[in-house]
Each structure stands twice: as C-alpha cells, then as structure tokens.
Chains A and B, each alone.
Chain A
Amino acid sequence: MSKRPFLIPFLVPAILVAVIFLAALAEILQYSLREFIPGSLDVGGFTLDNFARIYRPVYFKAVINTFVLSLATAFFTLILSYPIAFALVRTKVEWVRTLLILLSITPLFTGEIVRTYAWMLVLGTNGFLNTMLLDIGVISEPVTFMYTRAGVVIALVQFAMPVMIIILATAISHINTDYEKAAANLGARPWTVITRVVIPLTMPGIISGFIVIFAWTMSAFATPQLIGGGKVLMISNAIYLQGFSALNFPFAATLSVIALISAFASLALMKLIANRLERQTAIH
C-alpha cells in the first residue's frame, strides 16, 4: 500500500491545467517573435522587429501611464479603505457591521462591466455628478470627468476598495487592543494612538494591500477602455487596439509580453521596497 494513495489521480488534472496555461502563454511568446503580414492573420518568419517598435513614444507612454495610474489608484484606495476597515472590525453594533460588510464587498462581485457602466452614468457630462454640482451651484458649467485620467482613477479606486478593505480588516483584527489601551493610559491622544500604534502594527497589511491593488490595476481594461475612451491609453488598451483594430497579432503579443514583464518587474520592485520598510518598522 502506497503511503500517498491519491498522489497520481490528484496530480494529473492539476498538471494538465498548468500545461494548458503554459501553452497559452507560450503562444503569446511565439507570436511576439513573428513577422506581421499586413492584411493577413497568418504570420511570417521569426524576427525581433516587434520588440524594436515598442520604443515608439505612444507605446512607451502607455507603459508609463499604466504605472502611474496603478500607483495613484493603490494610494487613494489605501487612504479611503483604512477608515472603513477600522470601522468594520471595531464596531460593536451588529447591524452596522453587517451593513458595512455588504456595502463594501458587493462591488467586488458585480464585475468590471457593470461597475464601469455605472461610473459612466455618474461621471458623464450630463451625468449624476455634474447635474448635482450644477444644481447646488458649485459649478456653472459641466466638469469633464470622462476621457480623463482623474475619471479613470475615480472609478478604479472604487473597484479596488473591497479587496483592500478585506486585507486591512484582517490586519486590524489581529491587533491586540491592549497595546492601544496601554498607550491611551500612558496619556497618548487618540490621534497619536492611531498613528503611532495602530498604523505601524498593521504595516504588513498596508504593504501587501498596496502591492495587490497595484498589480490588480495594471490589468485593468474595461475602465480605461470605456471611461478613458481612447484618450487614456493603458497597455491593455494598446494591446486590444493592435489585436482587434490593426489585426496585428504579433505586435499585440509583443505588447502582452511587455505587460507581463512590467507586471512582474514592478511587483518584484515593490516587494523589495516593502521588505526594507518592514525591517525599518520592525526595529522601532
């Protein structure tokens, strides 16, 4: 009798899925090295020309744009999610807790399209926000939110918040409240307790939340596509444009390889910074 009776039957399906997935990724790599034949979906011989093209300003700008938008989204998501996560963990009123969970988690499960469409209704020139602001008299002419980076970030932050709230709430729930009580007993003001005790103790959660949201935003597609409307170009939109408008699959594949490399590279960079930060906060 084998000591690991289920090894083979349980391993085969997992390996099969992994092989299929790797094959799909290998196809992208293969296409990125092929010559594009205009007007045809067939590809030519092997070439490195596609990679030479990515230095053109428009693609370079898309990469930078993706990076900046992801950074901004992760930052604002963190700021807005922290109070919600704190309230969620610390409230003693059961219905408030249930309401907070339902309201903050539901957006996670409605999908990219529903959320993006909803924000188009809010941010449009004749949308909800402009109508409200005009009625109150804060503005005299509609503000342009659509087709701007600000509009894209406003929508992206809302999508990212549920995940950030879950990560932060987990971190906050692991704090031993005795530390806060001790600080307060020793005369620390509430604000000092928050900044000197609570936030440092949840630093691992803050860092991992920031990294997760950063990576997540790098793969945003529907929001920059519809709210950015071609004016805000992220890598995802450039790939779609090349693949489905220009039908240049080899170059779309090359941009996908770049997207993959930049996703992994920025994750590695952030992990490096995070490790340093964590070491510093651990010393204090």
Chain B
Amino acid sequence: MWRQTLFWVIVSCILFYMTIPAIVVVMTSFNPGEILSFPPNGFSLRWYEKALTYPDFRGAFRTGLIVALISSTLALVIGTSFAFLVVRYVFPGKNLLEGILSSPLIIPHFTTGFGFLLLGAHLNLNQTLTIIIMTHVVLVLPFVARAVYVSLLNIDPNFERSAANLGASPFMVLSRITVPLIIPGMAGGWLVASILSLTEFSASLYVTASRTQTLPVAMYNYIREYTDPTVAAVSALLIIATMLILMAANHFLGLRKILAIDSH
C-alpha cells in the first residue's frame, strides 16, 4: 500500500512540475502591477485589455490564422493523397520521396526557416505570405500524412474491393468508400497541423517581416522590448484555447485513439 501511495506522490510532483508554468502565467496575467509579484496583490483585467487591443498582436493573430488555415488545408490535400500512394501503390523513388517529405521532423526548424528565407530572396518572394505558407506546409505535412497513413492501414480493403466489383469506378470508390472511412484521421491530422502552424516560431522568425509576422513572432518581439505581463495575458488565452480544443478532440475523436495509446 505505501508503495502505491509513494508512486502517486511522485506522479503528482512530476505533474506539478509540468503544469506550474501554465499556472504561473495565468496568475501573472491577472496581476494588476507592471512588476510581477507572487502572490498577486489584486485582480485586474488590464493586461487582457492591452493584449486584445495591441495592434501588433491583432495583426499577427490575423496573419497567423490565415497562414495556419491555408497551410494546414494544403497539407491535408497533399498529405492525404501522398499517404494513399504510400499505402496502395509501388512506384520508383517511393522511399526517397517518403524520406524527403518526412525529414522536416528531424531537420531543425531554424534550418528550414533559413533555407526558405534564402529561397524567398532568390524568387523575389521575400517575407511574403506565399513563402511563409510554403514553409508551414513543409513543416506540418509529415503530421497530416502520418495520421492519414495510420487510418488507411486500418480500413478493411474488402469494402473497396466489393464496391469495385459492383461496378464503381475508381473515383467513386475513392470518394464514396475510402475518404469517408479515413475522415477521422484526416480531421485529427488537420487539427494537429493547424495548431502546430499557429504556434510555430523558429522557422517563422526567419521567413516573416514585421508586416507579415505571426503571433509567436510578435510575442517574441514584445518580450524582448517590454517586461509587462501583456504576453502573459496572450499566453493564458492560448493555453486555455488549446485545452478547450484538446478536450473537444478528446470527446469527439478520442485522444487515446489519435495518440495510439491503448491498454490491453
């Protein structure tokens, strides 16, 4: 019994370490003073007001949202069709293409960002939305392709075979049988891709300019110039939004299923 208790005490301590930054951010965001203090000496929403009206954050949030929506949707289309090829077809250069497209998982984001900065300069697309979206598509593509790949492996090929035997054209089989069966994987992959794109920082720092900066870049610039808790308010909003999205995803899609954790 004491072993069980000791185990749960250790688990609680580790969880405390994992959550303390988020708790401190939320506490700080309600702090009335410019200078951070613990425990807070009051309650105020002034930093939320400042965060929500600060033009840089508003612009950056809008840009980030546009970039995330376009790049995760492009990644969904490209990643789904590529995952389909990987699972169903054999073609020359398949392994090479798979290796190149999944290498952004290993290649540091700052390297990818720097490469796209140089490429953008070369193509006269320097720090435009086009080059930012290209960068984000490359970075989030492996996550979408992976999610769809797993769903494709899990469908029973008999469904597709019987549809084809009953005279459905390949396009009919794809649109009426295959795609509906992998919708959960596509939705999960798209969700992960858009969150990753919204919060991506290292590569975005290289490919954006102050006109086209995304929210994490705007927050970084703010932290370097000011010490007041405005960024704490933005962070608290982002943490709460993320938790709500994850709770919804857990409810509708099952996080354990998305993450492939299941006990026997």
Which segment of B47-55, B78-86, B154-162, B182-190 sits at the interface? B78-86
A89 partner residues in chain B, CB cutoff 8 A: 261, 263
B61 CB-CB contact with A under 8 Å:
no
8 Å CB contacts to B: which residues of A70-104?
A: 80, 83-84, 87-90, 98, 100-104
| A110 interface neighbour in B103, B118, B199, B263, Cβ under 8 Å | B199
The smallest beta-carbon distance between B254 and chain A, in angstroms, is 10
8 Å CB contacts to B: which residues of A108-156?
A: 109-115, 117-122, 124, 126-128, 131-132
A48 CB-CB contact with B under 8 Å:
no
Bound-complex Cα distance A104 to B22 (A)? 12
Cβ–Cβ contact A221 & B201, under 8 A: yes
B153 CB-CB contact with A under 8 Å:
no
| A13 interface neighbour in B78, B110, B206, Cβ under 8 Å | B78
A40 CB-CB contact with B under 8 Å:
no
B73 CB-CB contact with A under 8 Å:
no
The smallest beta-carbon distance between A237 and chain B, in angstroms, is 9
The smallest beta-carbon distance between A157 and chain B, in angstroms, is 9
Cβ–Cβ contact B108 & A28, under 8 A: no
| B201 interface neighbour in A109, A174, A222, Cβ under 8 Å | A222
Cβ proximity bits B233-254 to A, threshold 8 Å, 1 near / 0 not: 0010011001101110010000
Cβ–Cβ contact B242 & A31, under 8 A: no
Which segment of A17-25, A51-59, A196-204 sits at the interface? A17-25
8 Å CB contacts to B: which residues of A1-36?
A: 4-7, 9-11, 13-15, 17-18, 20-25, 27-28, 30-31
Closest B residue by C-beta to A128: B24
A260 partner residues in chain B, CB cutoff 8 A: 107-108, 111
Cβ–Cβ contact A177 & B264, under 8 A: yes
B181 CB-CB contact with A under 8 Å:
no
Cβ–Cβ contact A13 & B81, under 8 A: yes
Cβ proximity bits B188-202 to A, threshold 8 Å, 1 near / 0 not: 000000011011111
B17 partner residues in chain A, CB cutoff 8 A: 80, 158
The smallest beta-carbon distance between A119 and chain B, in angstroms, is 5
Q: Which 4 A-B pairs have the closest CB atoms?
A: A111-B199, A219-B108, A24-B115, A118-B21
A106 partner residues in chain B, CB cutoff 8 A: 22, 239, 242-243, 246
Which segment of A180-188, A249-257, A273-281 sits at the interface? A249-257
Cβ–Cβ contact A267 & B106, under 8 A: yes
A110-B199, A219-B202, A256-B111 in contact; A14/B18 too (CB < 8 A)?
Answer: no
| B82 interface neighbour in A10, A132, A176, A259, Cβ under 8 Å | A10
Bound-complex Cα distance A13 to B224 (A)? 39
A-B contact pairs, 27 of them (CB 8 A): A6-B84, A13-B82, A14-B81, A14-B82, A20-B138, A24-B119, A25-B115, A28-B115, A28-B118, A83-B10, A101-B256, A106-B239, A110-B22, A110-B239, A110-B242, A112-B201, A117-B223, A121-B24, A128-B20, A170-B259, A170-B260, A174-B264, A219-B202, A221-B110, A256-B115, A260-B108, A264-B106
8 Å CB contacts to A: which residues of B123-182?
A: 134, 137-138, 141, 170-171, 174
B134 partner residues in chain A, CB cutoff 8 A: 20
A105 CB-CB contact with B under 8 Å:
yes
Bound-complex Cα distance A106 to B250 (A)? 12
Bound-complex Cα distance A219 to B103 (A)? 13
A173 CB-CB contact with B under 8 Å:
yes
| B243 interface neighbour in A21, A102, A132, A249, Cβ under 8 Å | A102
B199 partner residues in chain A, CB cutoff 8 A: 109-114
A6-B85, A263-B108 in contact; A111/B118 too (CB < 8 A)?
Answer: no
* Most interface-central of A121, A124, A170, A252 (chain B CB within 10 A): A121
Closest A residue by C-beta to B79: A14
B242 partner residues in chain A, CB cutoff 8 A: 106, 109-110
The smallest beta-carbon distance between B83 and chain A, in angstroms, is 9
Bound-complex Cα distance A239 to B110 (A)? 9
